[in-house]
Structure 1
Amino acid sequence: MSDKIGLFTGSFDPVTLGHLDIIIRASHLVDQLYVGIFYNKDKAGLFSVESRQSMLEASLADYPKIKVITARDSLAVDIAKQLGVTHLVRGLRNATDFEYEANLAYYNHHLVADLETVFLLTADQYRHVSSSRIRELIHFEADIAAFVPQAVVTEVEKQFGHQQRI
């Protein structure tokens, strides 16, 4: 029997507790899980790719079978083939996510027929958490600690020089 290798991709700008919940739960379903920070070199995020990777690695340090990787201007299926991935993992918060992800899964299956997509429902407490909302809260110096791992709070303080308001 061959190993089950998963790949969960996103921009993680920044990583949220919702992301971590999906990642950790997915890691229990596979033998190896890659978390891929996928980015477009022509689009600037709030955090550099290196910062995103550092925050993810710090947040996942206790999970040895999870490895953080980066990919620039690549299709997930191409990286999956290179890594021997058997399962793409996707998180779903709502019906809008489902429609988008189902469409993506259709094309991914067409491109790589033996690559399975697995959908995990977001835990209720994280259903409304999104990186875009976190970036907005950071912009207005609001408290983000309830929505992100400590590594993100620390990085915000380091990069933007402000403590989170309580």
Structure 2
Amino acid sequence: MIKAIFPGSFDPITNGHVEVIEGASHMFEKLYVVIMTNTSKKYLFTEKERLELARKVFENNEKVEVIARPAELTVEVAHELGAGAIVRGLRNTADFNYERDIAGINKTLDPDLNTVLLFTRPEDSFISSSMIKETVFFGGDVSTLVPKPVAAALEEKLRNRNNEKK
């Protein structure tokens, strides 16, 4: 079987991510969830926090290993880990267009590395890390949209932010 990577910033990891990762873990010998850096994003959680949260979420799935590679290209990480595929999740057509372009760049960099696109369930298609952060920022409850450890960490971040305002 093939090893695969699922790269992302995971700030924070959502139920949509979990769904794709769990599904992909059944398709591959090993799935590496790779915490990476997207230079166009502003992060709520540090790299270390994102790594720890993702590890908590997948601690009982022995086919999933969570690692951080914040300063490497996706194709370089795939080579390093011996992965033959990149897994990406799709919520909608906007995601498809974005992922198609990234897959094209990755294919140019490594013609032998394939991208596998997995759709989220329709009921999870609206969940994004950005919307989660925005909702939490204004005091909304996202506990049904993220794993329990993430909900607790978001609540702690919100509490700390509110204490700083006082």
Do both proteins adopt the same fold according to a TM-score greater than 0.5, normalized to the shorter chain?
yes
**1:90 maps to what in 2?**
88
**1:60 maps to what in 2?**
58
Given that 2:137 and 2:158 are in contact with CA atoms closer than 8 Å, whether structure 1 keeps it comes out as no
SS in 2 for 1:72: coil
Give matches, 1:1-166, under 5 Å: 3-39=1-37, 44-161=42-159
Change (3 A) 1:44 1:98: closer
The sequence identity of aligned pairs, in percent, is 38
* 1:29-88 residue CA offsets vs partner (Å, 9 max, x unmatched): 000000011015896510111111111111111101100111122210011111101110
Corresponding letter in the other structure for 1:65: K
* 1:5-41 residue CA offsets vs partner (Å, 9 max, x unmatched): 0100111000000000000000000000000110158
Given that 1:137 and 1:144 are in contact with CA atoms closer than 8 Å, whether structure 2 keeps it comes out as yes
Moved segments of 4+, more than 4 Å: 40-44
Q: Which has the higher helix share?
A: 2
Unaligned runs of 5+ in 2: 161-166
Given that 1:40 and 1:73 are in contact with CA atoms closer than 8 Å, whether structure 2 keeps it comes out as no
Shift of 1:159: 3.1
Q: Distance in 1 between matches of 2:14 and 2:38?
A: 20
Change (3 A) 1:148 1:41: same
Corresponding letter in the other structure for 2:150: V
Shift of 1:158: 2.8
Change (3 A) 1:119 1:43: closer
**TM-score, structure 2 as length reference:** 0.91
